[in-house]
Amino acid sequence: MPTYARKDITFTKGNGIWLWDKDNNQYLDALSGIAVCGLGHAHPQVAEAISKQANTLLHTSNIYRIQAQEQLGDLLCEISQMDRVFFCNSGAEANEAAIKLARLHGHARGIDNPSIIVFENSFHGRTMATLTATGNRKAHAGFEPLLSGFIRAPFNDIATVTDICKTNNNVCAILVEPIQGEGGINVPNADYLTTLRNICDQHNLLLMLDEIQTGNGRTGRWFACQHQNVQPDVMTTAKGLGNGMPIGACLARGAAAELFSPGTHGSTFGGNPLACATALQVLHTIQEQHLITNADNMGALLVDQLKSKLTNETLVNDIRGQGLMIGIELTENCAEIVDLALSKKLLINVTAGNVIRILPPLIINADQVTQVTDSICECIAEFKNQQ
Ligand SMILES: *Cc1c(COP(=O)(O)O)cnc(C)c1O
């Protein structure tokens, strides 16, 4: 169905940060399949893990214990300091699990109509509940009636959240991205999550962080909340976890980790041996190759280069991000930049209309960072000439 406005390009193979189309043109992938392929393409250890698992056991269902799922669960809990995990197949599904946990938490507190605070310009997925949570009217259009039980507040604005909590006794949770991805790489104040954590503690709300895009090393920490030393009650992740193998996870801590019981949630495919063995290898490789430090360093280098080369560029409003999640906000809408970059064999994207989004693989090196900087600066100059 025509759900995507696709570019007329077909990639047929990849290696590391590089992709090749069917005419054998070579591209630098600074988008990673939207923050998915952190280890780049055709990673030998990942390919090996998939092949080994495929030759052993693909699927048995959650009626039985699954060794790779237990190992991945343990490792995810260790790197996130969470207690338990529910496995599913996508980001939206992980958020569905979080939303169900929030409602269980509300009902356990005697709230009949529990509500979750969500934010303007957020993105949480395309299922009915996650679409409702998403703060974008265009995404809602035509799909009404939306779900009840969501209250929207401006992002990075504590006063409104405080007001809602004071006046509304139905609030049970706050669902928020540590850095808004689809919304335009919006980085909140350094103490934003800490303050939300305090509000949640005060009012007995679950702090639920959507780390679907920011997780798994992308921002230069395992999870973005670790920059602020904030521990959520619920955390969701997906994109970079499987390096392209579909997998999502909803993690919980403390009382929130005990809300589900047998029969209250589930998934046929979720956490199957193939997906879990792959994700386990992805996390091990990120660890062994120190790719989180690399993301931190290369991200800082990229932002430095962009800032120094674009200081006098009047078209550029702001350059921001954390680790390898970087946005360049222009003064005007700039969808055409994607095609300009394509003609230079560079993959980037534009989100929120006027923000160039750069999400390179975590394996990117300093030379490749310079290539990305040079290419993007050329694109911006050409875009300006065309105006
Ligand atoms: C991509 C994304 C989702 C949705 O994930 P899907 O796997 O596409 O369902 C949810 N939240 C955030 C922050 C995302 O970036």
Residue whose CA is at the smallest distance from ligand 1 atom 6:
91
For the stretch 18-37, pLDDT in tens is 999 999 999 999 999 999 99
**Residues of 334-358 as b/e, b for ≥16 C-beta within 10 angstroms?**
beebbebbbeeebbbbbbbebbbbb
CATH of 11-30+290-386, one of 3.30.2420.10, 3.40.50.2000, 3.90.1150.10, 2.40.50.100: 3.90.1150.10
Dist. CA 143–CA 147, nearest whole Å:
10
Mean pLDDT, range 298-312, rounded to an integer:
97
State in Å: Cα 135 to ligand 1 middle: 13
pLDDT averaged over every residue in the chain:
98
End-to-end CA distance of the chain: 34
Mean pLDDT, range 337-364, rounded to an integer:
98
Atom number, ligand 1, closest to the C-alpha of residue 246 = 7
Mean pLDDT, range 304-309, rounded to an integer:
98
Ligand 1 pocket test: which of 130, 132, 213, 250 has the largest number of ligand atoms within 8 Å of its C-beta? 213
Is the per-residue pLDDT at 344 higher than 90?
yes
pTM exceeds 0.85 for this model: yes
Ligand 1 pocket test: which of 239, 357, 359 has the largest number of ligand atoms within 8 Å of its C-beta? 239
**Domain residue spans in the chain?**
11-30+290-386, 46-288
Domain 46-288 of CATH type 3.40.190.10:
no
Ligand 1 pocket test: which of 99, 123, 186, 208 has the largest number of ligand atoms within 8 Å of its C-beta? 123
Q: Is 377 exposed, middle or buried (0-12, 13-18, 19+ CB in 10 A)?
A: middle
Residue whose CA is at the smallest distance from ligand 1 atom 10:
124
Mean pLDDT, range 92-98, rounded to an integer:
98
Mean pLDDT, range 274-283, rounded to an integer:
98
* pLDDT band per the 50, 70, 90 thresholds, residue 296: very high
Is the per-residue pLDDT at 115 higher than 90?
yes
pLDDT for 387 equals 86
CA angle 11, 298, 36 (to 5 degrees): 35
* Percent of the residues in the chain that have a pLDDT greater than 90, as a whole number: 100
For the stretch 60-72, pLDDT in tens is 999 999 999 999 9
* pLDDT band per the 50, 70, 90 thresholds, residue 78: very high
Q: Mutual orientation of helices 366-386 and 336-343 as an angle, nearest 10°?
A: 120
Mean pLDDT, range 49-60, rounded to an integer:
98
pLDDT for 75 equals 98
State in Å: Cα 26 to ligand 1 middle: 28
Where does ligand 1 bind, in terms of residues with CB under 6 Å? 90-92, 95, 123-125, 177, 181-182, 210, 212-213, 238-239
State in Å: Cα 95 to ligand 1 middle: 8
Is the per-residue pLDDT at 55 higher than 90?
yes
Mean pLDDT, range 104-126, rounded to an integer:
98
pLDDT for 240 equals 98
Residue whose CA is at the smallest distance from ligand 1 atom 5:
91
Residue 77 phi/psi, 5-degree rounding, is: -65, -40
